[in-house]
Amino acid sequence: MKIKEIIVVEGKNDTLAVKRALDADTLETNGSEISEETLRRIELAWERRGVIVFTDPDYPGTRIRQIISERLPSCKHAFLNKKHAISANGKKVGIEHASTSDIRDAILSVREEIETPDVLIEWEDLISAGLVVGDHAKARRKALGERLQMGYMNGKQLYKRLLMFQISRDEFSRALAEVLQEEEK
């Protein structure tokens, strides 16, 4: 399966992992120090073919994703669950450590940012669901982010992504119900 968009990854090992999983072109940021020149290349790729941002599920990957998102607010995002990106020795996290099927699933479950989202979820919904404050808020956000293929985020980032990706109230409620049901076990 050929992916039309260019996939933005952090480095060469990520490119190799993506190419093992799918027929796709990649553009590397060369780590967390994303230069203006690299941003211009990503912008050109976005204008010509579209881009899918696919960075490691860690702080530097999130930082790169945010920088690109600020520059290109309507780009697409693929998220890899952190538990699928841990090295065999358990010491490193990165796309290059994920299985081919996990990479393929993440890229095929791409989410697209919408520049002017309609309000679908209210901030109060997150508070009443225990996703912003409380003993289980962090764990709930993590589990919800996994179910909605959006990665881990703090409360404000969760709210922003729910709006950006146009998560419906229905989709949110179903995913939250699964999280709460799993929590009870």
Please indicate, yes or no, whether residues 168 and 90 belong to a single structural domain of this protein.
no
Q: Give residue-wise pLDDT tens across range 74-97.
A: 889 999 888 888 888 888 889 999
| Domain co-membership, 142 together with 102 | no
User: Whole domain around residue 28: which residue ranges?
Assistant: 2-112
Is 106 found in the same domain as 19? Answer: yes
Structural domain total, the chain: 2
From 89, 112, 135, the end of a domain falls on 112
Residue 53: CATH number of its domain: 3.40.1360.10
Region of poorest pLDDT, from 90-94, 115-119, 134-138, 172-176: 115-119
Q: How far is CA 181 from CA 141, 145, 175, 176, in A?
A: 14, 15, 10, 8
Query: Is the Cβ–Cβ distance between 158 and 145 less than 8 Å?
Result: yes
